[in-house]
Amino acid sequence: MDGEYVRYSKTVPVRRPYELAGLPFEIIRLTTGTASALGHKLLSGGVPALLDLATQETDEVAVTTDPAATAAIRVRPGLVDATRLPTGSHLDFRSANGLYYWEIFFHAPFLIAQALNGAQRFEDAKRWYEYVFDPTHPDSYWRFLPFLAVDLDALASALTGDLAALRDAGLPEEPVAAALAPVLAAMRALAPAVAQNRDPVTEQERAALLAVTAPAAHEEVATAVADLAARTDLTPAQRDAVAALREHTLMAADLAKQFDALGDRENLLTAYRDDPFDPHAIADLRPVAYRRAVVMRYVDNLLDWGDLLFRQYTPESVDEARMLYVLAYDLLGERPERLGTGLPAPAASYAGLDAEPGDLDLVGYFTSGGTMVTGAGAVHAGVANAYFHIPENSVFDEYWARVEDRLRKIRQSLNIMGISQPLPLFEPPIDPMALVRSVAAGTGLDQLTAGAAAPVPHYRFAVVFRRAQELVDKLRQLGSDLLSVLERGSAEELSLLQRRQEQEILTMTRAVKTAQIRIAEENLAELTASRDAAQQRVGHYETLIAGGMNELERAQVDLMSTAASLHFASGVLKVAAAIAYAVPEFHAGPFIIGTTASGRQLGDTLDKAAETGESLGEGFGMVGEVLGIRAQHERMVEDWDLQLATARSDITELEHRIGGATEQVAIARREADLLEREIAHNESVAAFLTDKFTNAELYGWMSGTLAGLYFQAYNLAYEMARAAERAFHFEHGRTAGEATTFIRPAYWQSRRGGLLAGDSLALDLERLGKAQFDTGGRGLEITRQVSLRALDPIALLRLRDAGGCEFTLTEALFDDDFPGHYRRQIRTVTVTFLDPDGNTLAVPATLTQLDHKTVLEPDPQAVRHLLDPQGAPPAAVRGDWRASQQIALSEPDGGRDNNGLFELRFDDDRYLPFEGTGAVSRWRLARGGRAVRDLADVVVTVKYTAEQGGEVFANAVRGLLKPHPAARLFDLARDFPDEWGEFLAGDDPRLALPFTTQMFPDLAGSQITGIYPTYDLVDGAVTRLVLGGDPAQTLSEGKLLPTPGLTLRSTAPSAWTFTVDGAKENLRNVGLVLTYQARVQ
């Protein structure tokens, strides 16, 4: 405590504090040995093999309390919690590397899938989602191991599937199944509590918790599985089945730790209170949150994919969309039943609520995961208090509503907008080069077909093009801002890197400066020692000079002088001896007296003379040596004088050098101080760069945010550019081919952060603008009035009698006027209702364009297809762009045309109703309100533009025109007044009507192909006409009677007789529509 520590002896047992003695340690794995195995999986099988569930089941090094274990980490049983040892049967997601495992196997695939969904690459997104959640594996749909471990239902299903796999592999399942049965039952009973993050509240759940966490039950299961694994006759398939079963049983044995790791309501409340805006903090305690998020995003991806296909509205795409919707509906399950709205409780105070017994803890409920919530909050069953209620989860309810809406529209042949539209027999053709460009750009066929089926914008090209330019300019500005932020962020990171490097260099320089100080101090010490040595030399030489020769030297000289003297004396004596040897010998004795002179005396004399020379020489040598000694001493004195002077000079030099070395030491110390100050300044600058508001972290956040905004702006600009191109094709009647495709499939290069995508898009947008400028010529402007009475009188009668009809403006109708025209595009459509006198009627009605076709090129084959639609349409035929448009026809105002607009303005930013669609079209006209009996005709005025295809094309079209069906409406009371009046006045039930060929415009031949009757009868009466009195030719109301034998005479009127079937008094009037073949003009 307070900086004081206690050292316990390792040999003498001592009583330790409670924290150490009473609580066992929990072992957490800090390292892993699975990196090589994961790398091998990635290199050999790619991402699918790495993210596979089997890879997550890679064994870690086991941790055990068994002292006899060899290939394991052994821990002391008394010091650790043996029930919470790190797992070894699979990757340890609770280890120090657990966060990285979560990122690899969950967060990264989930993030990639979301990004692919945003880029509308739904199939790729589905594949990445299925690395975490794959509903096609019914027994193991969770492909992320921690999700499977905490989902007791899924784990129980996996174990059941493992037992079935044992049976299929030919292995006995009974021992394992018998041992596993109580565990499976307990897991299924405990599943609701685990899913709702709550404590067991029922006796059954508490018993299940004890059964699941009891070691004995799992030991029995482990023994049964070990017996199977110990067999030596297992095939590879059987061995895999046993391994899967063993893995899942080990996960079941680990449920105690899994259940302890789940956050209770107090932990959830604490996590929420500490950081309410961090969903991951709560999701760590509630894994069900992550699982729900994955399933919701998976369903979102299916629905978005289905909507993309549904918008294409082709038989194949609608069928594929239906399958996706059905899959999403199956994943959602049965929609909760709505039981109405709960009645509010009477007003009460908080004190009264707090005092009520029997209520659940409010705070506890709201953090317990919704214990009592069933369905979509129906009747507010999940209540924490009798006073408060939980509303339904509208997010989940919208899933069911969306899926049911899409399936209902598909069943009722409606498009995604809810408008009735028949499916085309064939999909629109795809340009092969566009497919090549799409694949080269990294997009797929779905994106290409979706782009081909993109809706035409509501606004004209000029408006959309201008808006696209504005968005592209903003995109380019965002790109510049992003690049600037990236550069500033890089500059900040470079500054931080330089500061870190400078700090490292300065830290290293500190050691250098310290060494330099030591070197300078050593140099000073060396110079001081050298000065002391020089001073010693000066004293020594002064002493030598002052003392001269020492006693020994003087004694040597004296002795040598004495020796020289003695040598000289010896020489003198030897000279005397030599002289003596030269005197003859004198012999005197008792017997002899005399002298002897011989050569021997002479020799001795000479010998002594020689010895004399030697003695004298040695004496002189001794004298010379003495003189040499004295000369050497004088030279030594001279040298001592020199050494003395040199030593004194050295002392002077060393004094100066010592002064310099002292300054060097001071300088080195000052430089060290400056270095320390520089290090402090560098640390201050680094702290400022790190802590300032505009730091690298800010630029990182800005770059990430701007990158997201930049990508969203790119999508907006790209879609707007595509819309402008679509409007260009729509207005000018162009196909999306090589020459008319300006906006390429993709400009975004992820490796470069999408930079310069706006510039590339701006260039192609300018190319599109130039194409608009080059092709903006004025076409032919034509007005065509079509009488519904003349075009299709049956439709007119159905409109009048039934309230609605359909009619078609055919290619032949327009080719009759201008056979050489093509690219007929409507500008406006006006409808006029007329009475028998030609006056305008005010009839409320709606006009809907069901489909339309446009011949884009002067291609006779395209005209042939419109005249006789057989097989797939040629590429030159465009159909149903901006289809299913509708206008409301009301009372004309001040003589204005009845076109569904308050004011017709050709300079409107938006397209006018039906503008740009093909003049060859099919329509539905439905009146509202009461029936209009005096409706005599409907005139449809079509104003359209066209292009001249040339005489060759016109002649080819004329050759294609053949007799076509036509009809003529006869009002018997108006067209045959005499015959009709006589018939009503007389008693004859027969009515004879004269018909001539002049009554049928452009009649080809004399054949009348059919009769369509309509009767104006007295209310409730039933009366019909019969042609020629033949019951088989009864003219029934609203039915076309084929008349193959009915012809007209060319020279005289043909009198046809009609017999009344019923009382003719019931007849007020009769209308007959006669159909025939009309020739081409």
The C-alpha angle 730, 735, 740, rounded to 5 degrees, equals 95
Q: Is residue 738 within 8 Å of residue 716, measured between CB atoms?
A: no
Taking the C-alpha atoms of residue 720 and residue 768, their distance in angstroms, rounded to an integer, is 13
Residue 460 has pLDDT above 80, yes or no: yes
Quote the pTM value. Answer: 0.62
Amino acid symbol at 299? V
Q: With H, G, I as helix, E, B as strand and everything else as coil, classify residue 1058.
A: strand
Q: 580 φ, ψ to 5°?
A: -65, -40
Residue 593 has pLDDT above 60, yes or no: no
Residue 18 has pLDDT above 50, yes or no: no
How many residues are given for the chain?
A: 1081
pLDDT in tens, 875-890: 888 888 887 889 998 8
Taking the C-alpha atoms of residue 79 and residue 82, their distance in angstroms, rounded to an integer, is 9
- Give me Rg for the CA atoms of the chain: 58
CA–CA distance from 51 to each of 71, 107, 151, 1036 (Å)?
27, 12, 19, 72
String of DSSP letters for 401-441? HHHHHHHHHHHTTB-TTS-B-PPPSSPPP--HHHHHHHHHT
Lowest-pLDDT choice from 245-259, 930-944, 956-970: 245-259
Structure tokens at 388: 């408060």
pLDDT at 787 (0 to 100):
92
Dihedral angle computed from the Cα positions of residues 945, 948, 949 and 954, in that order, rounded to the nearest 10 degrees: 100
Taking the C-alpha atoms of residue 759 and residue 442, their distance in angstroms, rounded to an integer, is 20
Torsion over CA: 230, 236, 238, 241 (sign): positive
Continuous segment of H or E residues that includes residue 504? helix 461-547
Contacts of 753 (CB under 8 A, 6+ apart): 482, 486, 707
String of DSSP letters for 463-490? HHHHHHHHHHHHHHHHHHHHHHHHHHHH
Q: Is residue 181 within 8 Å of residue 163, measured between CB atoms?
A: no
Q: Of 395, 405, 368, which is closest to residue 267 (Cα–Cα)?
A: 368
Q: Is residue 303 within 8 Å of residue 403, measured between CB atoms?
A: yes
- Every domain of the chain and the residues it spans: 174-262, 780-961, 969-1078
Taking the C-alpha atoms of residue 1016 and residue 1024, their distance in angstroms, rounded to an integer, is 11
Torsion over CA: 14, 17, 23, 24 (sign): negative
pLDDT in tens, 255-302: 655 555 555 556 666 766 777 777 777 677 676 788 888 999 999 999
Tell the residue number behind the tokens 């008792």, with chain if given. 590
Q: Are strands 72-74 and 62-64 parallel, antiparallel or unpaired?
A: parallel
pLDDT at 623 (0 to 100):
77
pLDDT band at 325 (very low <50, low <70, confident <90, very high): very high
Mean local confidence (pLDDT), 803-826: 91
Q: Is residue 186 within 8 Å of residue 211, measured between CB atoms?
A: yes
In a 13 Å sphere around the CA of 15, the CA atoms on its Cβ side amount to 0
Q: Are strands 937-948 and 990-995 parallel, antiparallel or unpaired?
A: unpaired
Top-confidence residue, 408 or 232: 408
CA–CA distance from 719 to each of 513, 594, 759 (Å)?
65, 167, 15
The C-alpha angle 875, 876, 880, rounded to 5 degrees, equals 85
pLDDT band at 938 (very low <50, low <70, confident <90, very high): very high
- DSSP strands (E only) in 178-320: none
pLDDT band at 376 (very low <50, low <70, confident <90, very high): very low
For the chain, the average pLDDT equals 79
Lowest-pLDDT choice from 381-395, 464-478, 743-757: 381-395
